[in-house]
Amino acid sequence: MTHFLITGGMGFIGSHLTEALLARGHYVTVVDDVSTGRFENIAHLTHHPLFRFAIESIMNETVMDRLVSECDVVVHLAAAVGVQLIVERPTHTIETNVLGTHAVLRMANRYRKRTLIASTSEVYGKGSRLPFREEDDVVLGPTTKSRWAYACSKMLDEFLALAYWREQNLPTVIFRLFNTVGPRQTGRYGMVVPRFVGQALRGEPLTVYGDGTQSRAFCDVADVVRAIIGLAEHPDAVGQVFNIGNTREITIRDLAALVKRVLDSPSDIVFVPYEEAYGPGFEDMKRRVPDISKIRALLGWEPEIPLETTIERIAHYMRKLEGQVALQGAGS
């Protein structure tokens, strides 16, 4: 049994990772300041004998000192995420991502704990050679466009984690997540799949930004969690960067049509100019697909869940949530 400390464990990915680790018989401690995470995501686990949590910021040194000293492996997922949030609150993004990761790595180094750092496909910036490989060169937009603050803050996290490995021998692993999707992800911060599913279920128009020819490859969170656990367990992952994502590319326009079809929704599809969606000067990434040969070679990992199934899983979760809200409303 390994004791995992998951920062951001009440978030979308963190809560799925927590469940999967508990199911494998590991001990899990979650620390989360519930800024974008929700206690409800882990509420069903609070009586599990191998689970405990703290609602606290990773910047709280006293708490983090104790939690890190007591665990075997740290998975650092706590971050400011979602393009919309980043554009709206760049100061918060930069501070959370850079200072937060620094605090976690420093603490992990104090107790020599193996640490996995979550990064993002955003670090590939404007790269046009697809699929994206871990060693690719990077071109970002100018500092006057706040979107790039996210990529830049995560790149600094990566540099720092690799520096801790090279200079201090702290075992660190970096994984870059590509458009992870699944139940519990909220559309509040701009993520396209939960937004489309919610819109389709409510019979509202699906809002495609731009002309919808931009594309992404969406990976189910259950597949992602399997990859993270594999990296946490494999001794040769240390000191390396890995892409985690799906390789099935789909345009946002086709995604809207697919969501409509899978959910048999009568919703219209509308096209919203980028300016209207994100404000002036926003730069979107045209395409984004990972090369996953590195993680495949190490772990034999492949995504298994088709996007159609993920859409159904999200819709199922949303309907259940709606039902709970309706029941609570009826009871009050």
Cβ proximity to ligand UDP: between 67 and 259 the closer is 259
The distance of closest approach from Cβ of residue 85 to ligand UDP in the complex, given in angstroms and rounded to an integer, is 10
Cβ proximity to ligand UDP: between 151 and 228 the closer is 151
The alpha carbon dihedral of 243, 144, 163, 60 has a sign of: negative
SS3 for 210?
coil
What does the radius of gyration of the chain's CA atoms come to, in whole angstroms? 19
Q: Is 311 in the site for ligand UDP (CB under 6 A)?
A: no
The distance of closest approach from Cβ of residue 209 to ligand UDP in the complex, given in angstroms and rounded to an integer, is 4
DSSP one-letter string for 243-308: EE----EEEHHHHHHHHHHHTT----EEEE-HHHHH-TT----S---B--HHHHHHH-----S-HH
Residue type, 207: T
For the question of residue 150 being annotated catalytic, the response is yes
Q: Give CA 154 to chain center in angstroms.
A: 12
- As a whole number of angstroms, the distance between CA 20 and CA 188 comes to 25
Asked if residue 49 has a cis previous peptide bond (ω within 30° of 0), the answer is no
- Print the binding letters for residues 211-250 with ligand UDP: x by CB under 6 A, - otherwise: ---x-x----------------------------------
Which residue of 88, 204, 249, 284 would you call a contact of ligand UDP, by CB under 6 A?
A: 284
The active-site residue out of 27, 150, 164, 278 is: 150
The distance of closest approach from Cβ of residue 328 to ligand UDP in the complex, given in angstroms and rounded to an integer, is 27
- As a whole number of angstroms, the distance between CA 42 and CA 14 comes to 9
Q: Is 83 in the site for ligand UDP (CB under 6 A)?
A: yes
Tokens of 240: 């390396």
Q: Is 192 in the site for ligand UDP (CB under 6 A)?
A: yes
Which residue of 15, 119, 179, 185 would you call a contact of ligand UDP, by CB under 6 A?
A: 179
The distance of closest approach from Cβ of residue 193 to ligand UDP in the complex, given in angstroms and rounded to an integer, is 7
The distance of closest approach from Cβ of residue 183 to ligand UDP in the complex, given in angstroms and rounded to an integer, is 15
Among 55-63, 108-116, 201-209, 234-242, the segment contacting ligand UDP (CB under 6 A)? 201-209
Cβ proximity to ligand UDP: between 27 and 131 the closer is 131
Q: Is 67 in the site for ligand UDP (CB under 6 A)?
A: no
Q: Is 233 within 8 Å of 27 (Cβ atoms)? A: no
Work out whether strand 3-7 and strand 73-76 pair parallel, antiparallel, or are unpaired: parallel
Give the binding site for ligand UDP (CB under 6 A): 83, 179, 190-192, 195, 207-209, 214, 216, 252, 284, 288
Catalytic residues: 150
